[in-house]
Structure 1
Amino acid sequence: MMLHDVKPAIGAKKRKKRVGCGESSGHGKTSGRGHKGQKARSGGSIRIGFEGGQMPLIRRIPKRGFNNKRFHVFYAPVNLSALAGIEENTIDETLLRKLGLVKGKWDGVKILGMGEVSRPYVFRVHAVSTTAKEKIEKAGGQIELIKSHS
């Protein structure tokens, strides 16, 4: 056997598909795209699951399964600036609701650090931001964290 007699295995070399190179190529005229329509156009492709405008199957079937969102705790935000001028020493959710600073349904109250603290208040709330905690402790106040309702 000589080097020029060596040939690749049958099926190892496949001819490149040459589309649009005349009728005799087998892929001329429409180049294997059929006649007209969205998929015959350049750039014309439809996304996976598209059903021609009909409501897709993935949106028709009911959704099931676990979602963490139902366990999220929503706090009513109260800034330190809103607490200026309060005469009571102890600040809790009932006082804030009485003053109109907290309205509606919330899982708890969170004190945020925008503003300054003038007096040493005692806070009985569900959460406190880091900056608010620093300002309250600097003014000589205390923070008592209570467990959330939910």
Structure 2
Amino acid sequence: MAIARPSPSLKFLLPGLFLGPVRHQQSRSASIVSDLRNVASSYNKRIRRGRGPSSGKGKTSGRGHKGQKQHGKVPAGFEGGQTPIAIVHGPRGWDNKYSETMSPLNLDRLQSWIDQGRIDPTKPITLKELVDSRCLHGIKDGVKILARGKEELKTPIDITVSRASKEAIKAIEAAGGKVVTRYFTKDGIKSIVYPHLFKTPRRLANPTARKDIEYYRDPDHRGYLSHTVTEGESPSLFWKIPGPSKVGAGPQNKGAGAAQKKAKEENRLF
């Protein structure tokens, strides 16, 4: 049977009808079997111990070879048969939780940083300059200047730290410099070294413990509170300040106390 073909003059009107027989494309992937897998949340691998080396936890069942922990259970707190540390040293009193860990800074290292141009001696040296120049790799509870290499220090400096030894103070002042010791808390150190972490400038706290107050009141330590100590006064808070006693506080003021008592009685109405 002959198939009637349209006229060539009509092909430009319906081009899609004259491209030949229609072919349907396959929509299903041929590799669907290789793409099958379990749901991740529904799969739990159970460790099977003692099923041979190929099981991952086989042969010795994850306990290793020999040793006390491989043979059986070890009591909690067992220290190998020796006298336990808690009995030798006692349960408390061996670690001072109030102790401070100062970061040491020796004078020879400080002079070396000045010679290399890493620290500018014409400007005041604070904790920030010491950390930014990598002269100190982090600060714990404060910075203490020590006198190692004191004969190498030739440059006058103006430095503020937490503490300083007597020999270090003597060497810095002999070179024409100045040292001031100031109390810093951990937040205070962070606000000086990393000011970008705070939206507003932090006010540095003053010491509250007696030992800290007495240290920074002492002029020998070049403390920043030494100006509060009057002439003849001790930086210690234990001893009374020398001076005249209060009215009526001693036998030498008995007359003044009696006069005040008499004046009160005269002013009584009844």
TM-score by length of 2: 0.31
Q: 5+ residue gaps in structure 1? A: 1-52
Q: Distance in 2 between matches of 1:58 and 1:83?
A: 42
Match of 2:120 in 1: 87
- Residue 76 (str. 1) matches residue 112 (str. 2): no
Q: Comparing both structures, which one devotes a greater share of its residues to strand?
A: 1
Query: In structure 2, how many angstroms separate the alpha carbons of the residues matched to 1:103 and 1:121?
Result: 21
Could you tell me how far 1:56 is from its partner in structure 2?
5.8
Residue type of the alignment partner of 1:120: P
> Where does residue 143 of structure 1 map in the other structure?
179
| Aligned residue pairs, count | 96
Paired residue for 1:104?
A: 138
Partner SS, residue 100 of structure 2? coil
Distance 2:92 2:83 in 1: 20
Alignment RMSD (CA, Å): 2.6
Contact 2:100 2:141 in 1 (8 A): yes
The structure that has the greater radius of gyration is 2
Answer whether contact 2:131 2:138 (CA < 8 A) is retained: no
Greater relative CO (CA pairs within 8 A, separation 6+)? 1
The Cα shift of 1:101 comes to: 1.6
Deviation at 1:148, TM superposition (A): 3.3
Distance 2:157 2:104 in 1: 17
Q: Give identity over the alignment, percent.
A: 28
Any residues of structure 2 matched to 1:103-142 within 5 Å, and which? 103-115=137-149, 116-142=152-178
The structure-2 alpha-carbon separation of the partners of 1:91 and 1:65, relative to structure 1 and needing over 3 Å to count, comes to same
The aligned amino acid for 1:96 is: L
Shift of 1:54: 5.5
- Letter aligned with residue 108 of structure 1: G
Q: 1:59 to 1:83 in 2, by over 3 A?
A: closer
Q: Deviations over 1:57-101 (max 9, x none)?
A: 8848xx754556211111111111112223233122111101112
- Say which SS state the counterpart of residue 133 (structure 1) adopts: helix
Q: What is the TM-score with the length of structure 1 in the denominator? A: 0.53
